[in-house]
Amino acid sequence: MGLALPALILPGEALAAVTGARLERNADGTRLILEADSATSWRLSATQRPMRLIVSLPGVTWRGPARLPGLGPARGARWDAPNRRLLIDLSGPVSVRNAATVDGRLVVELGPGTAPGFARLTQGRIAQGQMGGTATARTPARSLPVIVIDPGHGGKDPGTIGVGGTHEKRITLAAALELKKQLEAAGRCRVVLTRSRDVFIPLDGRVDIARRREATLFMSLHADSAPGARGASVYTLADRASDALSARLAQSQNRADAAGGLRIPDVSPEVQRILYSLVRQETKVGSARMARFVVSNLGQSVTLLPNTHRQASFAVLKAPDVPSVLVEMGFLSDRRDEAALNRAPYRAQVARALTGAVHGWLEQHHAGVANSG
Ligand SMILES: [Zn+2]
């Protein structure tokens, strides 16, 4: 519903008063704070033309300043008395990092945004809740999407051991920590690692983390062995492998896990259901799209394996509702790949490419969500 209807107040209903309203700077964005003297409901929405955030406060009289001076992306704000709403005019797209009642006050945290991301905000209400008085109910805003990064292997499972003796589990962890740092610095998503230490985590445990954290995207990092192969590649799930190399990689990874002490039939029925359920079509489409972003971003700075996007039956990619890719950053069985992956600047280069891929994917994902209403 795109129309803004005037709010209805029942006769005799007591109005709360907004007693304070201000825009202030926070760490890397702008924050709106509203205070009311008694309990009242609020709703946050956005419009594209004019580009605006709107806080609807159907039950209040306004005793705050008539106008708030502009700050950051907010060109200014004013109270629209007939419709009982605060209009915040924007100079460009913003993201809403959080909108919630904190200690009785409504706090809306704004950050830099993209046009597709903002378009998504205009598709409905962003958040709503109660503020003022003793009411503490809160509805969290659509907060930043969660990306789960999975450093392959770990603990008693070293992964591949390179020609020069490099343990794969060390390379995957170092690369994942670097990628996390870069993604967090950009501030467009939250990052969860399946492991941040040298510990063994079974494959289904990794899938389970992605599902429990309601991940938008799952990315597993590896640097396995494949005789004669060199360069980075990316894998998505398929029942049948696209080629012999992919089949071998999936087989050896799935087997390494069984040797690590967990057999799939032993896991909980819930996880079994997850592992064995059919991969939904949209998850497949999202995974394939991510693979394309990975290939195009990596291709600008890193040597690629020919036919860079491949498919195989990797257990770690089997979350039915989380688009998932597995990135082989290179092969430790190749001396040049092994030397490169042992260098921090090279891993940073790979992480930059993967960060670009995540951002590209997120933008298209948001646009897709907005288009589908
Ligand atoms: Zn591996």
Query: Residue 20: which H helix or E strand, with range?
Result: strand 16-26
Calculate how far, in angstroms, residue 176's C-alpha sits from the geometric centre of ligand 1: 13
- pLDDT at residue 6 in the model: 39
- pLDDT at residue 370 in the model: 47
Calculate how far, in angstroms, residue 346's C-alpha sits from the geometric centre of ligand 1: 18
Cβ neighbors of 177 (< 8 A, separation 6 or more) are 151, 193, 196
Common-topology check for domains 16-131 and 146-371 = no
Q: What is the mean pLDDT of residues 191-219?
A: 90
What are 84's two structure tokens? Answer: 């009982």
Alpha-carbon span 36 to 281, nearest angstrom: 47
- pLDDT at residue 312 in the model: 84
pLDDT tens digit string along 140-168? Answer: 434 789 999 999 999 999 999 999 999 99
Question: Given pLDDT bands bounded at 50, 70 and 90, which one contains residue 258?
Answer: low
Q: Which fold has domain 146-371?
A: Aminopeptidase (3.40.630)
- pLDDT at residue 168 in the model: 96
* Class of domain 16-131 as given by CATH: mainly beta
- pLDDT at residue 90 in the model: 95
Q: What is the mean pLDDT of residues 217-223?
A: 95
**More confidently predicted of 15 and 217:** 217
* % of the chain surpassing 70 pLDDT: 84
- pLDDT at residue 285 in the model: 86
- pLDDT at residue 272 in the model: 46
- pLDDT at residue 259 in the model: 46
- pLDDT at residue 63 in the model: 87
pLDDT tens digit string along 31-45? Answer: 999 998 888 888 999
β-pairing, 16-26 vs 60-62, is parallel
Query: Residue 350: which H helix or E strand, with range?
Result: helix 344-371
Would you kindly state where each structural domain of the chain is located, as residue ranges? 16-131, 146-371
Alpha-carbon span 267 to 205, nearest angstrom: 9
Q: What is the mean pLDDT of residues 79-90?
A: 92
Mean pLDDT of all residues in the chain?
A: 83
Calculate how far, in angstroms, residue 223's C-alpha sits from the geometric centre of ligand 1: 5
Calculate how far, in angstroms, residue 160's C-alpha sits from the geometric centre of ligand 1: 6
- pLDDT at residue 135 in the model: 37
Calculate how far, in angstroms, residue 300's C-alpha sits from the geometric centre of ligand 1: 24
Alpha-carbon span 257 to 187, nearest angstrom: 33
Calculate how far, in angstroms, residue 155's C-alpha sits from the geometric centre of ligand 1: 13
What CA dihedral angle connects 360, 364, 370 and 371, to 10 degrees? 160
Calculate how far, in angstroms, residue 295's C-alpha sits from the geometric centre of ligand 1: 19
Query: Does pLDDT of 316 surpass 60?
Result: yes
Calculate how far, in angstroms, residue 277's C-alpha sits from the geometric centre of ligand 1: 24
Q: Which amino acid type is present at position 138? A: R
Question: Given pLDDT bands bounded at 50, 70 and 90, which one contains residue 257?
Answer: low
Calculate how far, in angstroms, residue 328's C-alpha sits from the geometric centre of ligand 1: 8
Alpha-carbon span 319 to 284, nearest angstrom: 10
